[in-house]
Amino acid sequence: MLNSRMVLSRKSWFIGLGVVSVAAIANALFSLEHDWHLLTISTLMVGGTLLFANVRQSFAAVVDQPQVIDRNFLFKELQQVQKAIAKIADANKRADLNEQAQQITSNLQKNNFRIVIFGTGSAGKTSVINALLGRKAGTTGAAIGTTITREEYSYQGIDFSPVGITPIHTEKIKRQVSLLDTSGIQEMGEMGQARELEALKLAQNADLMVFVTSGDLTNTEYCELDRLAGLGKRVILAFNKTDLYLPSDREQVLTKLKERTQQFLTAPDIVAIAAKPSPIKVRQYANAEASVSHNASQEWWEDVPPDVSALKERIETILSNEWEELLIHNTHLQIQNLLHEINGTINQERRQDATTIINRYQVLAATTVFANPIPAIDLLAGAAINTQMLIDLAKIYDRPLNFKQAQQLTMTIAQQLLQLGCIEIATSAIASCFKVNAITYAIGGSMQAVTAAYLTHIGGMSFVEYLEQQPQAAISDNPEITNKLQQICDRTFKALQSDRFFIDFVTNISRRIAIT
């Protein structure tokens, strides 16, 4: 069925159709007695032009219409994720990726909104969590890195109504809010770096991020905040420990934070809080005279209640107005990141299989040339071997490639290598290796065989690089694909010219020839 946007407007239909109808009737009634053919044809052309223009505009509107990303779209993307995961051979990696996909699906189905508290180890992230929850949920301390792993808490501090949410699968969707405490950034040691990577990953998957700092931003804090905001993350910058500053100094820090982050944060998203104020000393005097003489009868330290009202109000405002938009946007971003990881794993496995195939065919090319001293036979055999190698490589990457196309690509690669002077350079380098290598020196006449193997290796690696760079493009012999493949051949050849590579390659091929 056509999209509703493709339906022509009634006015345009009536105008075009009316003009054509009048012309047809006039032609039928008067064509025998009057010379109105020229007028009729002109009228038909006008009416047809109106109809064609309207149809063209309607189809153009559909083509230009951007993809609407909603919950249904996300569930379809998650189905694609499951199909892609099924292509992975490693069972452990497949299970890990499946778990990530199921977590994303669960969060979307349960309408779970995740707020990640992020920052350095000394900024007071856990204290912010405790203050928002109104209870001591996480452990705090003076030492940096008190939180050594992520902690997740259900946040019930705000009463949210499901306004603006379209129900999916159920008549009513309940909102769930989770607060996630993370390890700090800038922690020392190997374990600290590992915890920092985990914290960064959680921040990237957050629906809303509260970035906690205890003063003006350090260079590391600014870079991380800028990068996360660049990913489209919704960020609140919380200036914590304001109780340690004089009022004038506090305002100066706030002004500085707003100036430095004005390119990616709005002023309302920068709030001042005191999640765990320092206790104050209280003195009790027996009478007024004792007060004048500072002779206190009792002294004690009294805790000051946390002040996170500005942060709480900002969270409430964002969730009330942007809940669905943020949830959809960040779920889509998580799915794209997961797909990127899946495709990387698939390409890694494919690259391993492709390397095995290339190694097999390069040895086959070397032994064929070594066994046939006639150059003409060598050329024909080499072309056939490389053609079949490209077909096998295309199968690994699920790309259809027939024998004729493979022949054409083999010729393209061979011509490009000839233009680059690959044969002369390879022959010279391989000859030098023969002089210093006892194994290769003992195998007389194997230089041509090793050169053939080297050319097969270059061609195979170039084709694999092309398949990975163009995962969706159809393989054909059009000029654009030819030029792309030629450029990749050039880069691959230049990357595989080191002395170390030639020595290892010649040694390996020569040993295989000696075995056969």
Three-state secondary structure along 192-234? HHHHHHHHHHHHHCCCEEEEEECCCCCHHHHHHHHHHHHCCCC
Residue 319 pLDDT exceeds 80: yes
Query: Furthest-apart CA pair in the chain: how many Å?
Result: 127
Model pLDDT, residue 419: 80
> pLDDT tens, 92-117?
999 999 999 999 998 888 888 889 89
DSSP three-state, residue 300:
strand
280 half-sphere exposure, CB direction, 13 A CA radius: 8
* Residue for token pair 């096998």: 392
Overall average pLDDT of the 57-81 stretch: 75
Rg (CA), the chain: 35
Q: What is the mean pLDDT of residues 357-375?
A: 79
Burial 270-297 (b: 16+ CB within 10 A, else e): bbbbbbbbeeeeeeeeeeeeeeeeeeee
238 sits in the region (left: phi over 0; alpha: psi -120 to 50; else beta) called beta
Percent of the chain at pLDDT above 70? 65
Structure tokens at 264: 């990616």
pLDDT for 85 beyond 90: yes
What is the model's pLDDT at position 189?
45
Average pLDDT over residues 286-306: 68
DSSP annotation of 159 = -
Q: Which two tokens stand for residue 77?
A: 């993307």
Q: For the chain, what's the residue count?
A: 516
Task: Tell me the backbone φ, ψ of residue 174, rounded to 5 degrees.
Answer: -90, 140
Model confidence at 353: pLDDT above 90: yes
How many CB atoms sit inside 10 A of residue 311's CB?
Answer: 23
Q: What is the pLDDT of residue 255?
A: 94
Q: How far apart are CA 239 and CA 256, in angstroms?
A: 11
Amino acid 93 reads: K
Element (H, E) at 473: none
Phi-psi region of 349 (alpha: psi -120 to 50; beta: other; left: phi over 0): alpha
Looking at every residue in the chain, the average pLDDT score rounds to 76
Q: What are 431's two structure tokens? A: 């000859």
- What is the predicted pLDDT for the residue at 147? 46
Res. 431 pLDDT band, cuts 50 70 90: low
The pLDDT of 77-101, averaged and rounded, is 93
Residue by residue, DSSP assigns 402-416 as -HHHHHHHHHHHHHH
- Number of H helices and number of E strands within the chain? 17, 8
Q: Region 135-158: what's the mean pLDDT? A: 60
At residue 152, the 3 state secondary structure works out as strand
Any idea of the CA torsion for 462, 467, 469, 470, to the nearest 10 degrees? 130
Helix H or strand E segment including 328: helix 309-371
Q: CA–CA separation, 380 vs 376, rounded Å?
A: 6
Catalogue the E-assigned strands of 78-168.
112-119, 151-154
- Per-residue pLDDT, 373: 58
Dihedral sign of CA atoms 429, 431, 432, 438 in order: positive
Q: What stretch of H or E contains 284? A: strand 280-284
Identity at 106, one-letter amino acid code: S
d(CA 61, CA 6) in angstroms, rounded, equals 8
Q: Which of 454, 447, 449, 448 is nearest to 422 (CA)?
A: 454
In order of 202, 204, 355, the CA distances from 463 in angstroms are 37, 34, 11
**How far is residue 453's CA from residue 145's CA, in Å, rounded to a whole number?**
55
pLDDT band, very low/low/confident/very high, at 342 (cuts 50, 70, 90): very high
Tell me the Ramachandran region of residue 303: left when phi exceeds 0, alpha when psi lies from -120 to 50, beta otherwise.
Answer: beta
Q: How many CB atoms lie under 10 A from the CB of residue 460?
A: 25
pLDDT at position 439 over 70 = no
| pLDDT tens figures, 229-288 | 887 788 999 999 999 999 999 999 999 999 999 998 999 999 999 998 888 877 665 666
What confidence tier does 74 reach under pLDDT thresholds 50, 70, 90? Answer: very high
What is the spatial distance between Cα 396 and Cα 110, in angstroms, rounded to a whole number?
38
13 — pLDDT class (breaks 50, 70, 90): very low
Backbone angles phi, psi at 293, to 5 degrees: -90, 0
Q: Are 386 and 339 in contact (CB under 8 A)?
A: no
State which amino acid sits at residue 294: H
Most confident of 186-190, 220-224, 419-423, 459-463: 459-463
Q: How far apart are the first and last CA of the chain?
A: 63
pLDDT value for 367: 81
pTM for the predicted model, two decimal places: 0.65
**Both tokens assigned to 172:** 């009513």
What pLDDT does residue 57 have?
56
Separation of CA 82 from chain center: 17
Angle at 142 between CA 141 and CA 147, to 5 degrees: 45
- With a cut of 90, say whether residue 350 has pLDDT above it: yes
Q: CB–CB of 47/38 below 8 Å? A: no
- Answer for the pair 144, 185: CB distance below 8 angstroms, yes or no: no
Q: What is the pLDDT of residues 473-484, one digit of tens each?
A: 666 667 777 888
